[in-house]
Amino acid sequence: TGHRRPVLWSVHPRTADRLRSRPDVAQRLADADVRLVAPFGFHDFVRLERDAWCALTDSGTVQEECCLLGTPTVTIRDSTERPETVACGSNVVTGVEVDAVLAAVTAMVDRRGGWTPPPEYLATDVSAVVATLLSAAALPGAPAPAAPH
């Protein structure tokens, strides 16, 4: 990479199988210091997200987690189900073109924590709201729960 930092790629087993059939791609990744690693457990993966200088992902959950952890994110898709991360500045959606992804990484690496997560990400009463909604859903004909305050 032009950033002179290694890239860790937690590779899904199916993707790893595909890469083994494409030694040319695997070599290009190695030449760019992209290190393919086996999938991490949850706690190790969150630690990796927290300590990363930038996260590249196609996962909505990773977009949310990195927003909260202060890690800039580049989403390699054409759209996101987490537009609030784009609106607050923690995430940029690039599509799949290499030049667009690299330009986004360059733009995002210096933004670490330079945003305020959306208010709904900071809510402290989420468990109570979910319990109320589940209780109401479990009782047919029960009135809708009151809106949280």
Q: What is the pLDDT of residues 46-65, one digit of tens each?
A: 999 999 999 999 899 999 99
What does pTM read for this prediction? 0.77
Res 116: pLDDT: 95
Q: Which residues of the chain have pLDDT under 50?
A: 1
pLDDT at residue 32, rounded to an integer? 79
CA distances from 73 to 11, 53, 131 (A): 18, 9, 31
- The pLDDT, as a whole number, for residue 144 is 62
> Which residues contact residue 5 at a Cβ distance below 8 angstroms, ignoring those fewer than 6 apart?
33, 53
Sorted by sequence, the CB contacts under 8 Å of residue 49 that are 6+ apart come out as 55, 62, 65, 66, 69, 71
